[in-house]
Structure 1
Amino acid sequence: MKNFALIGAAGYIAPRHMKAIKDTGHDLVCALDKNDSVGIIDSYFPNASFFTEFERFDRFVDKWHREKDKKIEYVAIATPNYLHDSHIRFALRNGAHAICEKPLVLNPHNIDQLKIIEEESGKKVYNILQLRLHDSIIALKEKISQELASTPNKIYDIDLTYLTSRGQWYFTSWKGDATKSGEIATNIGVHFFDMLSWIFGPIEENIVHLKQADTNAGFMKLKNANVRWFLSVNYDYIPEEVKASGKRTFRSILVDGKELEFSEGFTELHTMSYKHILEGGGFGLEEARNSINIVSTIRRLEPLGLKGEYHPFAYKVLH
């Protein structure tokens, strides 16, 4: 049984980490969050120590392994994006591996620094890139790999559309602060960009057509794909037929005009990610680099408007 700590216990994604730790047969020793609405811990680890102040959490972690002659082997990190880098450093300095939510960090230079600390500490940084473990995505990668083996210069046409409605709270929270979330493309798009570049190759061109607080859209040329993408938290942009069904989320990936079906199978991906890591796999710093490069560049680019290969939804917004 491995011992875990969790930083960021009150957020939306934290229960998936608690469930993953429990489902893989391990123990949560302690957790930290500045907010104390963390009753969900009782469903998984009622005996876990809980802290709202980092200093007391830091002291506990240090004292615990000294007094009990045990180790906290892993620190799970589910905090706001801009804090990931600092909390990963905390884990490594305390002799633990880090398992961090996406985006791993906000900028590529953070990865370079973390590589140095990895080498100093002898511990690893793992990123939750759960789409790489989704059955439908794995099947698509295998299909594309086979096709590219015979026609290596083939270029696929991809339309990525992801709308996940958020209320007014979103813009009051850290997620609405671009300096903390990294903007929409980073916050809700990074794992899709990771998945697409994992399958279709590294990015060669990156263009932004639309950049608003609630919506980003653009075009990227990957080695073997042209990708038009649209990401938004605005309910108004969801197709009317989807609204009529009562849904507040719309997710679509078209590959050469054919819909990739991956609407199911998301609930267990964190547990699968933990199993993958604990069995000697996992996705590390270098696996995360490509998607961090992509979203970091998007953040710096000026939007072009309706020029070139823009996503059809961008037309709806700007026209």
Structure 2
Amino acid sequence: MKNFALIGAAGYIAPRHMKAVKDTGNNLLAAFDPNDSVGIIDSYFPNADFFVEFERFDRHISKLQFEEIVNLDYVSICTPNYLHDSHIRFALREGADAICEKPLVMNPWNLDALAKMEQETGKRIWNILQLRVHPSIIALKKRIDEGPKDKIYDIDLTYLTSRGNWYYTSWKGSQEKSGGIATNIGVHFFDMLGWIFGKVKENIVHVHTHDRASGCLELERGRVRWFLSINEDVLPKEIVSKGQRTYRSITVEGEELEFSGGFTDLHTDSYREILNGNGYGIEDSRQAIETVYTIRNTTPIGLTGEYHPFANKKLATHPFARKAD
């Protein structure tokens, strides 16, 4: 049994990490979050210690290790994107491996600094890239790997996940804290596409506003037209008529990739791989971090060339919006 601590216990994704720790037969010693809406812990680890002040959490972890001789093996990190780097460093300083949600860090050069810290501490940094363990995605990768080596595939990625007014008030609505639309809701898709279709050759941005981003990504074995948005106004009518607020589509050569299900245990599967030493580390996450960094810092060229068909949908403004570029 391995001992875990968790930072960011009140967030949306934290319960999946708690479930993964429990499902893999391990123990959560302590958790931290400045927000105390964490009753979900009772469903998994009611005896875990909980803190709303990081200083007291830090002190508690130190006391466990140096006074009670309790070894901390892993720290799971579910905090806002801009805090990942700092919390990863905390984990390594405490002699634990870090298991961090995506994006691992905000900027490519942060990866180099963390790689040095890995070498100095002898501990590992693991990134949750759950799409890489999704059965449909694994099957697609196998198909591409076994297909013609000189074929360039045409791919369309569309991901629409409606968000209300709260989004713009939260850290997610701030580019400085979340990285903007492409980083916050798209980084795992860019990782998955690079994993399957190879290295990035060209990264063009057509649109980048507070509520959407779109562009074209040329990979070694694929041309990707992509569109991401949090605005419900861009949802297809057939999706709205069903009362749904999310639309996710990936087509390869015009063929829809079915991966709407199978998400329940992806974090648990990721944890199993990490515990076996087969998880995804710093270098695995690098291309996706570089991709979203480029998108975030590129001036959009507008609707010219080969762009995603959703990119010309009417731009809706929002009274609370903070522009992402």
1:23 aligns with 2:23: yes
Letter in 2 for 1:42: D
Q: Give the Cα–Cα distance (whole angstroms) in 2 for the partners of residues 70 and 9 of structure 1.
A: 21
1:297 aligns with 2:294: yes
2:174 matched residue in structure 1: 177
How far does residue 70 in structure 1 lie from its aligned partner after superposition? Answer: 1.8
1:261 aligns with 2:283: no
Q: Give the Cα–Cα distance (whole angstroms) in 1 for the partners of residues 54 and 315 of structure 2.
A: 44
How far does residue 81 in structure 1 lie from its aligned partner after superposition? Answer: 0.1
Q: Give the Cα–Cα distance (whole angstroms) in 2 for the partners of residues 240 and 304 of structure 1.
A: 28
Q: Give the Cα–Cα distance (whole angstroms) in 2 for the partners of residues 47 and 170 of structure 1.
A: 33
Give deviations 1:34-63, integer Å, cap 9, x for gaps: 111101111111111111111111110011
1:106 matched residue in structure 2: 106
How far does residue 155 in structure 1 lie from its aligned partner after superposition? Answer: 0.5
How far does residue 318 in structure 1 lie from its aligned partner after superposition? Answer: 5.5
1:33 matched residue in structure 2: 33
Q: Give the Cα–Cα distance (whole angstroms) in 2 for the partners of residues 152 and 142 of structure 1.
A: 13
Letter in 2 for 1:204: K
Letter in 1 for 2:262: G
| Length-normalised TM-score, structure 1 | 0.98
2:214 matched residue in structure 1: 217
Q: Give the Cα–Cα distance (whole angstroms) in 2 for the partners of residues 132 and 251 of structure 1.
A: 17
SS of match in other structure, 2:149: coil
| Length-normalised TM-score, structure 2 | 0.96
1:198 matched residue in structure 2: 195
Q: Where in structure 2 are the equivalents of 1:108-147 lying within 5 Å?
A: 108-147=108-147
Identical columns (%): 66
Letter in 2 for 1:141: K
Q: Give the Cα–Cα distance (whole angstroms) in 2 for the partners of residues 196 and 213 of structure 1.
A: 24
1:60 matched residue in structure 2: 60
Letter in 2 for 1:180: K
Give runs of ≥4 in structure 1 deviating > 6 Å. Answer: none
1:93 matched residue in structure 2: 93
Q: Give the Cα–Cα distance (whole angstroms) in 2 for the partners of residues 202 and 312 of structure 1.
A: 24
Q: Give the Cα–Cα distance (whole angstroms) in 1 for the partners of residues 149 and 25 of structure 2.
A: 43
1:315 matched residue in structure 2: 312
How far does residue 317 in structure 1 lie from its aligned partner after superposition? Answer: 3.3
Letter in 2 for 1:247: Q
SS of match in other structure, 1:68: coil
1:248 aligns with 2:240: no
SS of match in other structure, 1:55: helix
1:286 aligns with 2:288: no
Q: Quick one: which of 303, 308, 311 aligns to 1:306?
A: 303
Q: Give the Cα–Cα distance (whole angstroms) in 2 for the partners of residues 165 and 142 of structure 1.
A: 32
How far does residue 315 in structure 1 lie from its aligned partner after superposition? Answer: 1.5
Q: Where in structure 2 are the equivalents of 1:39-54 lying within 5 Å?
A: 39-54=39-54
Letter in 1 for 2:212: T
Q: Where in structure 2 are the equivalents of 1:134-173 lying within 5 Å?
A: 134-147=134-147, 151-173=148-170
Q: Give the Cα–Cα distance (whole angstroms) in 1 for the partners of residues 88 and 192 of structure 2.
A: 23
Q: Give the Cα–Cα distance (whole angstroms) in 2 for the partners of residues 173 and 3 of structure 1.
A: 31
1:5 matched residue in structure 2: 5
SS of match in other structure, 2:307: coil
Give deviations 1:217-242, integer Å, cap 9, x for gaps: 00010001100000011111110001
Unaligned runs of 5+ in 2: 317-325
Unaligned runs of 5+ in 1: none
SS of match in other structure, 1:275: helix
1:271 aligns with 2:271: no
User: Which structure has greater helix proportion?
Assistant: 1
Letter in 2 for 1:158: I
Q: Give the Cα–Cα distance (whole angstroms) in 2 for the partners of residues 231 and 145 of structure 1.
A: 27
How far does residue 152 in structure 1 lie from its aligned partner after superposition? Answer: 1.9
How far does residue 197 in structure 1 lie from its aligned partner after superposition? Answer: 0.5
Letter in 2 for 1:53: E
Letter in 1 for 2:98: A
How far does residue 267 in structure 1 lie from its aligned partner after superposition? Answer: 1.3
Letter in 1 for 2:144: I
Q: Give the Cα–Cα distance (whole angstroms) in 2 for the partners of residues 106 and 317 of structure 1.
A: 30
Letter in 1 for 2:55: E
Q: Give the Cα–Cα distance (whole angstroms) in 2 for the partners of residues 280 and 317 of structure 1.
A: 47
Q: Give the Cα–Cα distance (whole angstroms) in 1 for the partners of residues 150 and 290 of structure 2.
A: 24
2:72 matched residue in structure 1: 72
Letter in 1 for 2:287: N
Root-mean-square deviation (CA, aligned residues, Å) is 0.9
Letter in 2 for 1:315: N
Query: What is the number of residues matched between the two proteins?
Result: 316
